[in-house]
A and B are shown apart, each in its own frame.
Chain A
Amino acid sequence: MPKVTLIEFNGQDHTIEAEAGKSLMQSAIDNGVPGIDADCGGACACGTCHCFVDGEWQEVAGEGDAMEEAMLGMRPDRADNSRLSCQIEVTDAMDGMVVRLPEYQM
């Protein structure tokens, strides 16, 4: 299983064994990583599983679709490497990926 590291805003890091085929959001929640709310449960409809994908991993994580873009566009802390983690499907190629979490989910 690919190992993914999620880093909370306060710097606390969590390396989890993510499950290929599941969303990164689900893997993070299943592993008890704090800092992801996922209010809508993974429907790309709330924006509360926002994360920032570290530099070289952006290509592996891919780009969001139009709906994800629309949701991200509402975030005051949106950045170029913003993604909704419910829309990132974990693959084996993500082994070693680093993802940072925002100060607040909103």
Chain B
Amino acid sequence: MNTATQLPDPWSTPLEQIDVSDPRLYEQDTWRPYFERLRKEDPVHYQASSPFGPFWSVTRFEDIVAVDSNHAVFSSEPTILIGDLDDKIPTEMFIAMDPPKHDIQRRAVQPVVAPKNLADMELLIRSRVIEILDNLPLGETFNWVDEVSINLTTQMLATLFDFPFEQRHKLTYWSDIAAGTPEMAGGDVNDEERYTGLMDCLETFTRIWHERKGREGGFDLISLLQRDPNTADMVDRPMEFLGNIGLLIVGGNDTTRNSASGGVLALNENPGEYDKLRANPGLIPGMVSEIIRWQTPLAHMRRTAKQDIEFQGKQIKQGDKVVMWYISGNRDSSAIDNADQFIIDRANPRHHISFGFGIHRCMGNRLAEMQLRILWEEVMQRFSFVEVVGDPVRVKSNFVRGYSSLPVRLHR
């Protein structure tokens, strides 16, 4: 990464010199004009060189839906990150598989978020949210990311896995390192640390798998994998087991965590919207969708062309990387009215791209929405203002759009 150089001017720099894979755009939160320009001038844009090799950027909402829905041409294998897989840990996971293998493995774990399970979880989530919020300090500055966002989503994740509750901080750590290397998405996690961490993850979950074997009736993710004949022996294929566990950890944690922080920031940056919320907490369900759009917790998903194809006048070649920038599709004013504004009562808030479309669409979308809805319902019961009192610290990654710090102070 060319860390020493300044970021180029988004409007005057020649298009071919713009690098939307540069993780600093996300760390510094300066990505907007670059994508605005691509959407206007070259919405399906070929970038001939980057630290991740050449790739296509798909930046408009409708084009992203078209690529995401066309899994016959745009493959999710071997990885859905802009960077390549780490040879030392060649994980396999169903998000990075095509049918029929994808369908079989996803179906095994999908029941964890089936309606009945969700209804059971609602009570549990609410009691945890209440406990977390009631223990926060009033009038003192603290990090919302650690005390609320991570705390809540990691508890949820431990429940989904029926993971030893007192060790749940490990889940957060594995989530942070899973896609954190420079080669994968421009992060700062070194290969050695990732390797050591993920091997510990594999070992831990392998032990849990064997301990749990034979236990009846469990509705956690491990029990579901064990019960489905198609995945009952997954533990014997360590890279597939680790990959899918990692997928469920990141998918079930990082995303909601960062929307739980992003919502606080968005309301502080848009005080008029916060006033609307105070006047009418009934806006929370729609606001949750708007927060998820606004945050776009995963900035991109990558596909690989299985064949030559002409797409929007461009010749995409077999083997080319095709990156769908969800973060850009969610700001596309041709698909979303006033896309650059955070509007908690917008007309059609569910029409956003953060969950992806097609067969890989987020499996936990309703659980994510439910957690955020309950969080805001309980916040509004207690606090008139969650005030952001310092600059947020953003994660350096072109994949996970997250925060490591968001200093806040609570007002009754």
- Which A residues form the contact surface with B (CB < 8 A)? 37-41, 43-48, 67, 70-71, 73-74, 76-77, 102-104, 106
In the bound complex, what is the Cα–Cα distance between A44 and B359 (angstroms)? 10
Stretch touching chain A among B110-118, B176-184, B269-277, B303-311: B110-118
Expressed in whole angstroms, the minimum distance between the Cβ of B241 and any Cβ of chain A is 22
> Is B22 interfacial (CB-CB < 8 Å)?
no
Expressed in whole angstroms, the minimum distance between the Cβ of B332 and any Cβ of chain A is 13
Whether the Cβ atoms of A39 and B351 lie closer than 8 Å is yes
In the bound complex, what is the Cα–Cα distance between A106 and B363 (angstroms)? 8
In the bound complex, what is the Cα–Cα distance between A74 and B71 (angstroms)? 14
> Is B65 interfacial (CB-CB < 8 Å)?
yes
> Is B219 interfacial (CB-CB < 8 Å)?
no
Expressed in whole angstroms, the minimum distance between the Cβ of B370 and any Cβ of chain A is 10
Whether the Cβ atoms of A74 and B361 lie closer than 8 Å is yes
Whether the Cβ atoms of B115 and A77 lie closer than 8 Å is yes
The one of A41, A74, A77, A103 in contact with B351, judged by C-beta atoms closer than 8 angstroms, is A41
Using known A-B contacts A44-B69, A45-B65, A106-B366, determine if residue A70 contacts B359 with beta carbons closer than 8 Å: yes
Task: List the 9 closest pairs (A to B, CB-CB), nearest first.
Answer: A45-B357, A76-B114, A39-B350, A103-B115, A104-B115, A45-B69, A106-B366, A76-B110, A70-B359
Expressed in whole angstroms, the minimum distance between the Cβ of B340 and any Cβ of chain A is 20
Interface size of B by CB at 8 A reads 25
Whether the Cβ atoms of B110 and A74 lie closer than 8 Å is yes
A-B contact pairs, 18 of them (CB 8 A): A39-B351, A40-B65, A40-B357, A41-B351, A43-B69, A43-B357, A46-B361, A47-B361, A70-B99, A73-B359, A74-B106, A74-B359, A74-B363, A76-B110, A76-B115, A102-B115, A104-B118, A106-B115
Whether the Cβ atoms of B359 and A71 lie closer than 8 Å is yes
Using known A-B contacts A46-B357, A103-B115, A106-B365, determine if residue A73 contacts B69 with beta carbons closer than 8 Å: no
A-contact 0/1 string along B343-368, CB 8 Å cutoff: 00000001110010111010101100
In the bound complex, what is the Cα–Cα distance between A16 and B359 (angstroms)? 31
A-contact 0/1 string along B118-133, CB 8 Å cutoff: 1000000000000000
In the bound complex, what is the Cα–Cα distance between A27 and B235 (angstroms)? 48
| CB-CB nearest in chain A for B104 | A73
**A43 contacts across to B, CB distance below 8 A:** 65, 69, 357
Whether the Cβ atoms of A74 and B103 lie closer than 8 Å is yes
| CB-CB nearest in chain A for B66 | A43
Most chain B CB inside 10 Å of its own CB: which residue of A38, A45, A102, A103? A45
**A71 contacts across to B, CB distance below 8 A:** 358-359
In the bound complex, what is the Cα–Cα distance between A2 and B25 (angstroms)? 53
| CB-CB nearest in chain A for B103 | A73
